[in-house]
Amino acid sequence: MRLRRLLAALLISALPFAAVAQDAASLLADRVSVSGDSLLIAEGGVEVRYRGQVLRAARITYDRAADALAIEGPITLTDANGNILQAEAAQLTADLRDGVMRAARMVLNRQMQIAAQQLYRAGGRYTQLTDTVASSCTICATDPTPLWEIRARRVLHDQQERQLYFEGAQLRFGGVPVFYVPQLRMPDPSLDRAAGFLPPDLRTTSALGSGLKTPYFLPLGESRDLTITPYLTTKGGRTVETRYRQAFRSGMLQFGASASRDEILPGELRGRLTAEGDFALPQDFRLTFSAEAVSDPAYLLDYGLSDDDRLYSRAEISRTRRNEYISGRLVNVHSIRDTGGQLESNATLPTIIGDFTWHRRFSGGPLGGEAGFRFQHHAHYRSASLDYDTDVDGDDIADGRDLARTSVRLDWRRNWIFGPGMLAAALGELTADVYSIREDASFGGTTTRLQGAGAVELRWPWSGATADGAAHVVEPVAQIVFTSTGDGDVPNEDSTLVEFDEGNLFSLGRFSGSDEREEGTRVNLGLAWTRYAPSGWSLATAVGRIYRLEDAGQFSTASGLSGQNSDWLATTQLIVPGGLTLTNRMLIDTGMELTKAEFRMDLARERYGLSTSYVWLQADAAEDRTTDTQELYLDGRYGLTENWTGKVSARYDFEADRATRAGIGMQFRNECLLVDLSLSRRFTSSTSVDPTTDFGLSVDLLGFGGSAKAGPARQCRG
């Protein structure tokens, strides 16, 4: 058989058929015969390749005089883009560009199928189909009705523009007509960007009523596009959302705007503005920026845009290399937070913040080890003045404090290994600060400060195995820290939130910022144990505590660091093969009472998943937490079937004894359809927002371009 195909190919190469056009065509067949001077017949497993097109058929007759092909099927014609035409019989020109195919079917991008009584090809660009049925759903012989289909009198496919034009289109679900449109244009599956409507989104809220978002996408060239989304609701809401995007050789930018009128705030124009960008600059620098503004504090929540209650607008130029980090940024903060029935004052917040950081790592030189140098400048501005407010005694409160700080820090660390696997280390840092403070009667003026800290550390990891094949690692750690703080009392602006966890148990300082430095001589002790089972699961636990020579009174009780000795820090983590991770962290005081507790579980399986966390925090006025916090959060999914997935989310406040948020959802996804259904309720209220219920529905017909991922395909039986 192979020899016969080879002989047929050699015969064809010597015939005029090989020069149908400028490029040569190749033909393979089981049998080839020539009749007269102009008729060539190929039969049995016929394959023709020409200009990226592949034609397979049972029999082909080539008429040289007419320069045409008569083809008998089953016929399959694949073009250079991977689109497939199938038919029972066809009459085509020799270059396969024009002609008629009967009982035809077109498959675009191996996804969208269009069946027709007849198919016409013209100019190698246009394909016209008559009496068509289009769908990307799997069709079974035992149940030939697809989940959805578009029936039309005529469909025109523009291969160059990658567009489908329907005439007399009728959308059917399960064979039932639900929508008719005289003219319809859709992108073919291979097109990522085309002007037209995107999948609509139905949203119903208790405040706005029911409404339909119908985004319209408009490309403005190869690198720009605009999306316009009108949104009308049954309770008088009228909204227009816009999004503009542009790509450059070095980056991208995006602008967004929305304008609304509704009955929540009658007579007022409400809206939101956003901007963001990301650009590569010379010398490996990068520019990023983002900005956001809203008309009123409740707009984001009313329209389901965001839960943010402080808006940050920022611009930053940065560069990150192996041994160097440079960053300069400018930040604007605008609060829309409700605090006890009234909005937080922006006059007393640092609304304008500027930072510059240069951090460099290098060899420790004659000392060995590794060293670092950091230069940092920080400044922030408040619009309030010195006498903005007074306390109960009539004294001025520093609500309008403006501050600038310049800092230089040197740090160093060196490790040694000795004896039976013991690891010793020496480390230290020296920091010099210059503060300039205005609008503050207590701290106003210029203040300098010099601070240093050093430590020696000893670790002795032990490892071994038990009879069951498990590996155990035990590591005791001891660290002695010495600090020296110079004169210079400054206000604490950036170190009010303090965390005590396994990440900073052996740190030279535990304040989150630069204004406060941990003082005093102390000993940090810790013990960690990890078990690695042969089956793949692992269990890690650690316990630690800090012992001080004396209490400097720097920390609040809820931080777990107050007193001469800190609370006990205890952590546990269990990792089980198959996607289960359990993490627990606790702070326990000397009386064995909990100070803080956090538990988190993450379970990720192919069919189901669950993320849940529980947190308990003591009230702490130093952290603006006037009452205890005890909350439970969960977010889960479960595959009810291969195509249906259920979702649930909730957040419960045990101190208030009520849910703050709850939501359920259902998603259906197969090879041709994506449906998202959601219902959520926000129970909290404030002076600017009321509790609301949201209902959302979106339907996406897969196969007409877009980026939505297809799900499991329908399985035919019988």
Please name every residue paired with 240 in a beta bridge, in sequence order, or none if there are none. 230, 259
Rounded Cα gap, residues 567 and 572, in angstroms: 16
Could you give the maximum distance between any two Cα atoms of the chain, in Å?
Answer: 117
Across 627-639, b (16+ Cβ under 10 Å) vs e yields eebbbbbeeebee
Please give the average per-residue pLDDT across 627-646, as a whole number.
Answer: 93
| Portion of the chain with pLDDT greater than 70, in percent | 94
Tell me which H or E stretch contains 318. strand 310-321
Asked which of 498-502, 641-645, 649-653, 706-710 is least confident by mean pLDDT, the reply is 706-710
Tell whether the model's pLDDT for residue 676 goes beyond 90.
Answer: yes
Sign, CA dihedral 344-350-354-355, equals: negative
CB 243 within 8 Å of CB 215 = no
Q: Which position has the higher pLDDT, 18 or 565?
A: 565
Phi-psi region of 267 (alpha: psi -120 to 50; beta: other; left: phi over 0): left
Rounded Cα gap, residues 270 and 259, in angstroms: 6
Q: Which of 311, 298, 421, 415 is nearest to 364 (CA)?
A: 415
Q: What pLDDT band is residue 162 in, cutting at 50, 70 and 90?
A: confident
Rounded Cα gap, residues 509 and 237, in angstroms: 53
Rounded Cα gap, residues 334 and 468, in angstroms: 59
Q: Which of 450, 406, 448 is nearest to 429 (CA)?
A: 450
Please give the average per-residue pLDDT across 99-104, as a whole number.
Answer: 88
What value does the mean pLDDT of the chain take?
88
Task: Please report, as a single letter, which amino acid is at residue 634.
Answer: L
Q: What is the predicted pLDDT for the residue at 688? A: 67
| Portion of the chain with pLDDT greater than 90, in percent | 52
Asked which of 379-388, 507-516, 592-601, 647-656 is least confident by mean pLDDT, the reply is 379-388
Rounded Cα gap, residues 177 and 192, in angstroms: 28
CA distances from 328 to 148, 287, 429 (A): 54, 10, 23
Q: Which of 351, 476, 361 is nearest to 410 (CA)?
A: 361
Q: What pLDDT band is residue 6 in, cutting at 50, 70 and 90?
A: very low
Structure tokens that stand for 640 in this block = 């009810």
Which residue, chain included where needed, has tokens 């009539």? Answer: 394
Q: What is the predicted pLDDT for the residue at 3? A: 38
Q: Which position has the higher pLDDT, 187 or 583?
A: 583
Q: Which of 183, 74, 100, 188 is nearest to 136 (CA)?
A: 188
CB 341 within 8 Å of CB 687 = yes
Tell whether the model's pLDDT for residue 312 goes beyond 60.
Answer: yes
Tell me which H or E stretch contains 7. helix 2-13
Q: Which position has the higher pLDDT, 10 or 522?
A: 522
Q: What is the predicted pLDDT for the residue at 529? A: 96
CB 61 within 8 Å of CB 89 = no
Q: What is the predicted pLDDT for the residue at 39? A: 85
Q: What is the predicted pLDDT for the residue at 388? A: 54
CA distances from 542 to 105, 502, 527, 668 (A): 66, 8, 6, 44
Give the model confidence (pLDDT) of 361-410 as tens digits: 999 888 999 999 999 999 999 988 765 554 444 444 457 899 999 999 99
Q: What is the predicted pLDDT for the residue at 405? A: 96
Q: What is the predicted pLDDT for the residue at 8? A: 45
> Would you say how long the chain is, in residues?
718
Rounded Cα gap, residues 15 and 11, in angstroms: 7
Rg of the Cα atoms in the chain: 35
Q: What is the predicted pLDDT for the residue at 387? A: 58
Asked which of 114-123, 259-268, 352-361, 609-618 is least confident by mean pLDDT, the reply is 114-123
Residue 29 DSSP SS3: coil
Q: What pLDDT band is residue 7 in, cutting at 50, 70 and 90?
A: very low
Q: Which position has the higher pLDDT, 688 or 96?
A: 96
How far, in whole angstroms, is CA 280 from its chain's centroid? 21
CB 156 within 8 Å of CB 162 = no
Please give the average per-residue pLDDT across 487-505, as a whole number.
Answer: 86
Q: Which position has the higher pLDDT, 171 or 340?
A: 171
CB 91 within 8 Å of CB 75 = no
Structure tokens that stand for 209 in this block = 């009523």
Tell me which H or E stretch contains 299. helix 299-302
Q: Determine phi and psi for 285, rounding to 5 degrees.
A: -80, 160
Q: What pLDDT band is residue 713 in, cutting at 50, 70 and 90?
A: confident
Q: What pLDDT band is residue 687 in, cutting at 50, 70 and 90?
A: low
Which residue, chain included where needed, has tokens 């014609």? Answer: 77
Q: What pLDDT band is residue 254 in, cutting at 50, 70 and 90?
A: very high
Q: What is the predicted pLDDT for the residue at 691? A: 84
Highest mean pLDDT among 483-487, 556-560, 628-632: 628-632
Q: Which position has the higher pLDDT, 287 or 341?
A: 287
Tell whether the model's pLDDT for residue 131 goes beyond 80.
Answer: yes
Tell whether the model's pLDDT for residue 593 goes beyond 60.
Answer: yes
Tell whether the model's pLDDT for residue 17 goes beyond 50.
Answer: no
Please name every residue paired with 583 in a beta bridge, in sequence order, or none if there are none. 573, 600
Rounded Cα gap, residues 145 and 138, in angstroms: 9
Q: What pLDDT band is residue 212 in, cutting at 50, 70 and 90?
A: very high
Q: What is the predicted pLDDT for the residue at 210? A: 93
Please name every residue paired with 603 in a beta bridge, in sequence order, or none if there are none. 580, 610
Cis status of the peptide bond prior to 189, with omega within 30 of 0: no
List strand residue ranges (DSSP E) for 460-493, in order.
462-465, 471-485
Rounded Cα gap, residues 391 and 407, in angstroms: 33
Tell whether the model's pLDDT for residue 689 goes beyond 90.
Answer: no
Beta carbons within 10 angstroms of residue 35's beta carbon = 10
Q: Which of 102, 95, 93 is nearest to 75 (CA)?
A: 102
Tell whether the model's pLDDT for residue 256 goes beyond 70.
Answer: yes
Burial (CB count within 10 angstroms: exposed 0-12, middle 13-18, buried 19+), residue 536: exposed
Burial (CB count within 10 angstroms: exposed 0-12, middle 13-18, buried 19+), residue 87: buried
Pairing of strands 445-459, 471-485: antiparallel
Structure tokens that stand for 318 in this block = 């940065």
Tell whether the model's pLDDT for residue 348 goes beyond 80.
Answer: yes
Q: What is the predicted pLDDT for the residue at 425? A: 97
